[in-house]
């Protein structure tokens, strides 16, 4: 029997039926050598509703799991779902760039494994009132942490045209960023843009027919607004180095990304950690210059066709993984 929660339309849903963890078996396979030992600690840096966490705690009976999430609703659901693992599960309300502080608060110096499942959680997507989806009308909120102040509606109401264009270009890779920014500024002078339906209609009206046939015109703009509201990329830039440093020797990290901007950050940081620091021209690599990490997969792994068919949210996923070989040189 799964946990029963009330859905966005008032329907009662079984939690285990609405949350299918992405690439679960592959994540377990990659992390098992590091966490399948007594005293192992795994950090689920993006706990969500606890789908990955539940599987790890079930498979590894001596594992301790620290779950981080900025979303209080998700934490409450995960705590209920995982209460049978009392003593082995430690939830922490924080953004994942706070991994070091979270571990310090629990008296943990280094961990055996770390998992990041980036992007918007199933809970956030499925709760219409959170405003993450462009397919249904809702208030333009998009906060992953409801205790934070900045919302998508505030951005649309207060950002200058140039700033709107910048975030649409940088975070949405939107070719019509300038056109959309201008139309938003013109429209808000007439009435506030507070609901997703308003914004979608505005973007559709501003999109040339030839372009609109290539995909939904709101997709990239909504992505850009979500990233700006939640400072996702700056948080990730701080989180990955902090996570790498939190691993013990032999510890492993797995990161699931869902769009190219996230994946570039992970790729860059993993490549730097796995690179030799030997000066050019040295005939033999000195031990102090050898790589601190090794990459566990070649490039970025994608979901199989079977995984995509079973779980459509796995379609854009890119998986990267690394293992710590040695601690940082003093």
Give the 3-state secondary structure of residue 13: strand
Per-position b or e across 39-49, b if 16+ CB within 10 A of its CB: ebbbbbbbbbb
> 52 labelled as ligand-binding?
yes
Tell me if 2 is assigned to a ligand binding site: no
**What's the CA angle centered on 233, arms 218 and 110, to 5 degrees?**
140
Is 69 annotated in a binding site? The answer is yes
Determine if residue 215 is labeled as part of a ligand binding site. Answer: no
Q: What are phi and psi of 142, to 5 degrees?
A: 70, 15
258 is in an annotated binding site: no
The CA–CA distances, whole Å, from 243 to 71, 90, 246 equal: 20, 17, 5
List the alpha helices (DSSP H) in the chain: 15-18, 24-35, 51-59, 72-81, 99-105, 122-126, 152-158, 161-172, 177-188, 196-206, 209-212, 219-230, 232-246, 260-273, 305-310
HEC profile of 263-297: HHHHHHHHHHHCCCCCCCCCCCCCHHHCCCEEECC
50 annotated among ligand-binding-site residues = yes
- 134 marked ligand binding residue: no
Residues making up the annotated binding site are 50-52, 69, 96, 117, 124
Q: Which residues fall in the annotated binding site for S-adenosyl-L-methionine?
A: 50-52, 69, 96, 117, 124
């Amino acid at each position: 029997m799964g946990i029963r929660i009330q859905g966005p339309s008032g329907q009662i849903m079984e939690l285990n039926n609405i949350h299918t963890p992405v690439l679960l078996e592959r994540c377990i396979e990659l992390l098992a050598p590091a966490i399948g030992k007594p005293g192992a600690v795994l950090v689920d840096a993006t706990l969500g509703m606890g789908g990955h966490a539940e599987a790890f705690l079930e498979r590894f009976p001596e594992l301790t799991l620290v779950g981080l999430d900025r979303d209080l609703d998700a934490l409450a659901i995960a705590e209920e779902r995982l209460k049978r693992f009392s003593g082995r599960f430690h939830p922490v309300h924080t953004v994942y760039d706070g991994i070091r502080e979270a571990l310090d608060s629990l008296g943990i110096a280094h961990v055996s494994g770390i998992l990041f499942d980036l992007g918007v959680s199933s809970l956030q997507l499925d709760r219409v009132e959170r405003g993450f989806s462009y397919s249904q009308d809702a208030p333009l909120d998009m906060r992953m942490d409801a205790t934070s102040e900045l919302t998508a509606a505030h951005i649309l109401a207060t950002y200058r045209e140039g700033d709107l264009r910048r975030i649409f270009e940088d975070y949405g890779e939107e070719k019509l960023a300038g056109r959309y920014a201008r139309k938003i500024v013109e429209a808000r002078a007439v009435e506030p843009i507070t609901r997703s339906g308003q914004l979608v209609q505005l973007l559709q009206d501003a999109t040339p027919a030839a372009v609109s046939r290539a995909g939904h015109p709101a997709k990239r703009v909504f992505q850009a607004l979500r990233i700006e509201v939640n400072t996702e990329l700056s948080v990730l830039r701080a989180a990955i180095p902090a996570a790498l440093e939190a691993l013990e020797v032999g510890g492993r990290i797995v990161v699931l990304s869902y769009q190219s901007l996230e994946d570039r950050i992970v790729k860059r940081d993993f490549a730097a950690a796995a690179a030799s620091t030997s000066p050019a021209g040295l005939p033999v690599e000195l031990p102090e210059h050898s790589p601190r990490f090794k990459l566990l997969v070649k490039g970025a792994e994608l979901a199989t066709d079977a995984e995509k068919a079973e779980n459509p949210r796995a379609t854009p996923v890119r998986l990267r993984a690394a293992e710590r070989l040695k601690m940082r040189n003093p």
